């Protein structure tokens, strides 16, 4: 019965091939758990998207209610503390994982030809992750978030020539206020994540084109096959 339905679906949309393309990944022999750091980052990114959307059921981006609405989420909403906590610690984990992932692809020499663009797209993703941390921290509009945004935008203001313009662009004026929070909110919830999703897709497409760089020892490279097909061991 299930195989019948499966066949019926696949005659109309090539789900089986889509799954194969998505999941079956050929990697050189000697794979290690270090290869999972990119996927771990991707998983936490997905978790941030879900918990972020969920917080929007309660959070409001106004200077007089932002803090109260988050307190309400944490104290009165069932499991609100957990949803908020997952997003908060997920943000921290994201930065750590991206750094580890970057170190691993650097050590393995994955930035070299023909993977330069994968690396460059990665650098762009690093900036986006930093941008998410910066804009997200301001959203509770508490002492920590407010002053982090004040200091951060002031730093932008010290850039020669374009500094003042950049600062007032981020703040929507010379001083911090409601429109600053609105800007940070829309950057954090729509613009940066939207760009990130497209860029991640490009990152993965570029990565898949050549596959994983694999170990540097030629001995280990000889065996190859599907993921989890017998060569996965600790480093």
Using CB under 8 A, list all residues that contact other proteins: 20-21, 24-26, 47, 50, 54, 57-58, 65, 68-69, 71-72, 76-80, 82-83, 208, 211, 225-226, 228-230
Residue with structure tokens 């990697």?
27
Decide: helix, strand or coil at residue 224: strand
Give the binding range for ligand HEM (CB under 6 A) out of 77-85, 117-125, 140-148, 221-229: 117-125
35 binds ligand HEM (CB under 6 A): yes
Whole-angstrom distance, CA of residue 73 vs CA of residue 55: 8
DSSP letters spanning 81-133: HHHHHHHHHHHHHHHHHHHHHHHHHHHTTTTSTT-HHHHHHHHHHHHHHHHHH
Using the minimum distance from each CB to ligand HEM, give the nearer residue, 106 or 165.
106
Among 110, 137, 138, 139, binds ligand HEM (CB under 6 A): 110
Decide: helix, strand or coil at residue 5: helix
Among 28, 29, 32, 42, binds ligand HEM (CB under 6 A): 42
Whole-angstrom distance, CA of residue 147 vs CA of residue 60: 19
Q: Are 159 and 131 in contact (CB under 8 A)?
A: no
Using the minimum distance from each CB to other proteins, give the nearer residue, 54 or 146.
54
**Binding partner of 110, given other proteins, ligand HEM, none, CB within 5-8 angstroms per partner class:** ligand HEM
Give least dist CB 36 to other proteins, A.
Answer: 12
Q: Are 60 and 69 in contact (CB under 8 A)?
A: yes
Q: Are 126 and 102 in contact (CB under 8 A)?
A: yes
**Binding partner of 125, given ligand HEM, other proteins, none, CB within 5-8 angstroms per partner class:** ligand HEM
111 binds ligand HEM (CB under 6 A): yes
Q: By CB under 6 A, name the binding residues for ligand HEM.
A: 35, 37-39, 41-42, 45, 98, 101-102, 105, 108, 110-111, 115, 118-119, 122-123, 125-126, 129, 200, 203-204, 207, 212-213
């Amino acid at each position: 019965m299930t195989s019948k339905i499966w066949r019926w679906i696949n005659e109309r949309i090539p789900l089986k091939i889509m799954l194969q393309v998505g999941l079956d990944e050929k990697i050189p022999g000697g794979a290690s758990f270090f290869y999972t750091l990119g996927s771990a980052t991707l998983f936490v990114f997905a978790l941030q998207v879900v918990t972020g959307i969920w917080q929007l059921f309660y959070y409001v981006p106004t200077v007089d209610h932002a803090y109260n609405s988050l307190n309400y989420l944490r104290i009165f909403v069932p499991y609100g503390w957990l949803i908020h906590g997952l997003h908060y610690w997920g943000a921290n984990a994201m930065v750590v994982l991206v750094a580890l992932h970057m170190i691993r692809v650097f050590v393995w020499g994955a930035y070299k030809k023909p993977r330069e663009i994968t690396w460059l797209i990665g650098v762009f993703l690093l900036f986006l992750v930093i941008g998410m941390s910066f804009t997200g921290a301001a959203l509770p509009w508490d002492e920590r978030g407010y002053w982090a945004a004040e200091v951060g935008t002031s730093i932008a203001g010290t850039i020669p020539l374009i500094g003042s313009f950049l600062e007032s662009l981020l703040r929507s004026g010379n001083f911090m206020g409601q429109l600053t929070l609105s800007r940070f909110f829309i950057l954090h919830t729509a613009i940066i994540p939207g760009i990130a999703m497209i860029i991640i897709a490009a990152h993965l497409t570029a990565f898949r084109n050549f596959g994983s760089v694999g170990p540097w020892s030629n001995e280990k490279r000889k065996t190859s096959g599907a993921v989890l097909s017998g060569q996965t061991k600790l480093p």
